[in-house]
Chains A and B, each alone.
Chain A
Amino acid sequence: MIRFENICRDFKVGDETVHALKDVNQHIEAGEYASIMGPSGSGKSTLLNVLGLLDTPNSGHYWLNGRDVSKLPDDDLAATRHEIIGFVFQSFHLIQRMTALENVELPMVLAGIAPAERQDRARQMLCKTGLESRMSHRPDQLSGGQRQRVAIARSIVMEPKVLLADEPTGNLDSQSGKEVLDILEELHADGLTLILVTHDPVIGQRSHLHLRMTDGIIKAERQHLQRQPEDNGDAPS
């Protein structure tokens, strides 16, 4: 599904060059549940941005679904993003003036889908994330956890293959963080490839492929543990 070959990403800051990704080689299979952990500034977000085609590597090859996407023109990148990739951000990135339903509709608006079908699908996604009673609320009328669930509904409404989440629970308290994680894991269980950046070691433990980053370099380790039972007692329910 995803293959990185000698991916490098450098940033020029003044006369200095920051090597955010140094010669990364990594393979992630379809249906994988991967977590990316590591100290601040180690390149996690950069890696995720390159994975999500928001950023292009300076050198190396990136194969997505068997296609080399490292040198695609802008519009092809956009189209690929549109078809294959869903994003969940730490700060939600919902549009304040739109209701939850309209936010979820947005990717379908871009795709040119007719309003009736759009609303139908958006409602389904919001039900899936447990927001059936919050559809016409605007983001400022929702809690942090609810906002992130709207964002998740939006990220999956185009039925992507890969869901990328950069610290999706970073702005949430542990209870709503857990709810959000449950939803993400459910989606993974339904077959979505899930890749998330996190600082939370508990979440890290629950993933199957564990990518540890230091200074732009990946060290991968596969967890052979089975997924833990739902209630492991570290959060009151």
Chain B
Amino acid sequence: MRLPDRNHMAIAAVVRYPLRSSMLLVAIAIGVAAVLVLTSLGEGARLYVTSQFNSMGTHLLFVTPGKNEVGGLGGMAGSLGGSPRPFTLGDVRSLKRSPYISSTTPMVMGTANINYQGLERDIGVLGTTHTMKRLFEYEVKSGRFLPELDLDNASPVCVIGDTIARELFGTAEPVGKWVRIGDRRVRVIGWLEQGGQSGGRDLDEAVFVPIAFAMQVYNRESVQRMMVEATSDESLVKAKRDVIGIIKARHFGHEDITVMDQGTILSTFNKIFLVLTSTLAGIAAISLAVAGTLIMNVMLVAVSQRTAEIGLLKALGARRSQIIGLFLTEATLLSSLGAVVGVLVGYASIELLRQLVPLVDFQAPDWAVISAVLMAIASGLLFGIMPARHAADLDPVEALAGR
């Protein structure tokens, strides 16, 4: 039997039962589209985080207390591995000694209540220094960002995000006003331009205060983490070595810090998102397996609908392999068509997502598209085998009688 003839017969069968065929098509298409859409969510999130990190300037080191063997995102290690020595402002200051370090930005984060003339809300407080502005390229709408102060100068000033400004002051100008943060009076000196998120924190809902002020509010002696800016990309490695060396000396020979550069963080993020995306793909693939069992069902029905025809083919001398080939072609044709429709629907849905959330670059990774299509076709073959063999095993006399 020639290949075009076999394909032609399979197409004829697919066209002859439009309801059956389109139902199967839809089932497979949903599976394939689900893989595309779900993986595009994971991939979109990954690309988003990556681009956020890349917008932070290029030669940054992230320093957290505690030795993190896994090279993960830090922070956690402190609570897991005994009690690492915290960073003091003295530690921060000491890093200035290195010629490869151009700035050191300490951070203390927490939440607090902000109050202006009876209006109040909960906010994220970020204690830091003036260098933060340069690292994240914040735009100031009015007033100014935190001024350059001594590290231990707990000047009661703050810079507020756009959402907070609107909620507390409405259309009035916030700069120059006094607000309450916790039980302290603080003067607003700056109002940040509305704009996205950085480092996972919603900028519009944040209030920036001097590091020493935040340490007083939260009653702590140490900073949570530091961002160290190297003088150049080339000096990044040396800066890292210096950070470790200087802190180790100050911590009596204990190397109890974790220093990560953006590359490490990015690759960690990439790993996490790859796991996330594959998990989503796996979940979506289950729907393909379900579609596969549907293929089996539909093909079994197809065989019983065409029993007499199969009997005739056998009487005319069709070999087993020819009958198997005929039904497998049909199943594969249906699953391939379903895969094509699924890819189209998937891409259309992703385009819709992009329209809805323009901030995130949703896109299904190529590996997900290819494996979804291959899986759909493979499930057509795999789940088509049983019904095809069933057809080939029919007794010709019984089949001719339609039994």
Contacts and interface: CB of A to CB of B under 8 A. Distances in A.
Given A54-B400, A89-B400, A78 B16 contact: no
A109 interface: yes
Contacts of B319: 74-75, 78-79
Nearest to A74: B320
A97 B16 contact: yes
A6 interface: no
Contacts of B308: 93
A81 B308 CA distance: 17
Interface residues of B, number: 23
A93 B400 contact: yes
A75 B400 CA distance: 18
Interface string A48-86: 010010110000000000000000001100111111010
Interface string B275-304: 000000000000000000000000000000
A97 B12 contact: yes
Q: Which of A55, A80, A93 has the most CB of B within 10 A?
A: A93
A111 B1 CA distance: 6
A contacts with B: majority SS? helix
A78 B318 contact: yes
B312 interface: yes
Interface residues of A, number: 27
Nearest to B308: A93
A52 B2 contact: no
B2 A75 contact: no
Contacts of B320: 74-75, 78
Interface in A81-102: 81-83, 85, 87, 89, 93, 95, 97
B315 A79 contact: no
Contacts of A201: none
B210 interface: no
A78 B312 contact: no
Contacts of B322: 110
Interface string A106-124: 1101111010000000000
B315 A109 contact: no
Contacts of B16: 97
B397 A107 contact: no
Contact of A110 (B311, B316, B396, B400): B316
Contacts of B400: 54, 89, 93
Nearest to B315: A87
Contacts of B312: 93, 95
Contacts of A75: 319-321
B314 interface: yes
B168 interface: no
A170 B55 CA distance: 86
B345 interface: no
Contact of A54 (B5, B309, B314, B318): B314
Contacts of B397: 49, 54-55
B317 A78 contact: yes
A54 B396 CA distance: 6
Contacts of A95: 309, 312
Contacts of B311: 93
Contacts of B317: 78-83, 85, 107, 110-111, 158
Interface in B63-81: none
A97 B315 CA distance: 19
B20 to A, nearest CB: 15
A54 B398 CA distance: 10
Contacts of B396: 54-55
B135 interface: no
B313 interface: yes
A74 B12 CA distance: 27
A112 B315 contact: no
B302 to A, nearest CB: 14
Nearest to B317: A82
A74 B313 CA distance: 14
Interface string A9-21: 0000000000000
Nearest to B13: A97
Q: Which of B16, B308, B313 has the most CB of A within 10 A?
A: B313
Contact of A112 (B2, B309, B316, B321): B2
Contacts of B316: 81-82, 87, 106-107, 110, 154
Contacts of A110: 1, 313, 316-318, 322
Nearest to A55: B397
Contacts of A89: 400
Interface string B1-38: 11001000100100010000000000000000000000
Given A54-B396, A109-B1, A109-B2, 14 more contacts: A54-B315, A54-B397, A54-B400, A79-B317, A80-B317, A81-B315, A85-B317, A93-B400, A97-B16, A109-B9, A110-B313, A110-B317, A112-B2, A114-B2
Interface of B: 1-2, 5, 9, 12, 16, 308-309, 311-322, 396-397, 400
Nearest first, the 10 closest Cβ-Cβ pairs linking A and B are A82-B317, A81-B317, A54-B396, A107-B316, A78-B319, A93-B312, A109-B5, A75-B319, A87-B315, A78-B317
12 contacts: A54-B396, A74-B319, A75-B320, A79-B319, A81-B315, A82-B317, A95-B309, A97-B16, A107-B316, A109-B2, A109-B9, A112-B1
